[in-house]
Amino acid sequence: MSNKTQIDLTKVPKHIAIIMDGNGRWAKVHNQPRVFGHSKGVVSVRDVVEGAGEIGVKHLTLYAFSTENWKRPKLEVSALMQLLVNTISKETDSLNKNNVKLTAIGDLKSLPSSCYSELNKAIEKTSANTGLNLILALSYSAKWELTEAIKQIAKDVQNNTLPVNDITESIINNYLNTKDIPEPELLIRTSGEHRISNFLLWQIAYSELYFSDKLWPDYRKEDLFEAIIDYQKRERRFGLTSEQLTS
C-alpha cells in the first residue's frame, strides 16, 4: 500500500524544501564517477516533483547547487552545469503538461550563460502554470542571500526610502529571494547527514526538520510521503505551550 493513502490531504505542507544529498556517495557505492550519481539524481527529482504535485504541495524548493559547490573540481562543476542545462530544456514540456511553474533562487547571474539562458527560457515558458511552484536553489547560500538583503536595506536607508524604525521581520522578508514564498513547514535532508549547509537560514526558523538515510538517487516520492506522514504527527508550537495550542 502506498504511503500516500495515509496522508491527511487537508494538512499537506504548503512549502517543502529539500537538501538533495548523497549523489557522490551513491556513485561510489556503484563504482561510478560522481557525475553518474548526479545524473541518477535527476530521476529522483522527477519522481519527487511528481509526488509533490499529486498531493497538492504548493512550493517545492530543491537545493541543486550551493555557493560553496563552485569550489568542487572544475570537471564536476561543469558536468553539473551541463546536466542542469540538459535537464531544464528536456523537462520544460513535461513541466507544462503537469502545470508546474519553474522558478529559481540564488546568484543566478553567476551561472554559465548557457545555463542562465536555458533557465530563464524555462521560467518564462512555465510562468503561467498554476500548479506546483518548483524552486531551484542554484548558486544559492543563505549567507549570500542575507548579505545581499542587508546591502540593499542599507542602500534604501541611506537614500531615505526606508526609515530604520520601519524595519521589521516582514520588511526583511521582502528583501530576500524568497519574498513571494511562504516559509517551508518541512525541510528534508537525505543521505544521513544532519546539517543545514547554508540553506534558507532565515526561512527555516520554525521549519520541521526531517532526515532520511537514503542517498538522493535512491529517494522517491514514497519517501517524500513518509516524511509528510511523520510531519503530520508533530505538534508545531512556535514557542507556545501545548496547552495554549489546544485551548
41 binds ligand FPP, rule: CB under 6 A: yes
Among 25, 58, 121, 125, binds ligand FPP (CB under 6 A): 25
Match 556513485 to its residue by C-alpha cell.
Answer: 27
Q: Which is nearer to ligand FPP, 62 or 181 (CB)?
A: 62
Q: Is 63:18 a contact under the CB 8 Å cutoff?
A: yes
In the annotation, is 69 catalytic?
Answer: yes
Nearer to ligand FPP, 20 or 100 (CB): 20
Question: Of 45, 48, 60, 181, which lies in the binding site for ligand FPP, with binding defined by CB under 6 A?
Answer: 45
Residue 188: C-alpha distances to residues 6, 38, 207, 213 (Å)? 19, 18, 10, 11
Three-class secondary structure of residue 221 per DSSP: helix
Distances (CA, A) of 218 to 21, 28, 237: 11, 14, 33
Contact 235, 245 (CB under 8 A): yes
Query: 166 catalytic, yes or no?
Result: no
**Whole-angstrom distance, CA of residue 15 vs CA of residue 3:** 19
Q: What's the closest the beta carbon of residue 46 comes to ligand FPP, in angstroms? A: 9
Regarding 62 and contact with ligand FPP (CB under 6 A), the answer is: yes
Kindly determine how many residues on this chain lie close enough to bind ligand FPP according to the rule CB under 6 A: 19
Identified binder of ligand FPP from the candidate list 136, 149, 187, 228, rule CB under 6 A: 136
Site for ligand FPP in 63-92 (CB under 6 A): 64, 69, 83-84, 87
Closest CB to ligand FPP among residues 62, 204: 62
Among 12, 16, 35, 38, indicate the residue that binds ligand FPP (CB under 6 A). Answer: 38
CB-wise, 175 or 219, nearer to ligand FPP? 219
- Return the number of the residue (123 or 172) whose C-beta is nearest ligand FPP: 123
Q: What is the DSSP string of 118-185?
A: HHHHHHHHTTT--S-EEEEEEEE-HHHHHHHHHHHHHHHHHTTSS-GGG--HHHHHHTSTTTTSPPPS
In whole angstroms, give the CA distance from residue 118 to residue 188: 27
The cell for 47 is 519522481
Q: Is 59 in the site for ligand FPP (CB under 6 A)?
A: no
Q: How far is the CB of 230 from ligand FPP (least distance, A)?
A: 22
Strands 186-189 and 15-19, bridge-based pairing: parallel
Binding site for ligand FPP (CB under 6 A): 20-25, 38, 41-42, 45, 62, 64, 69, 83-84, 87, 136, 191, 216
Q: Tell me the catalytic residues.
A: 21, 69
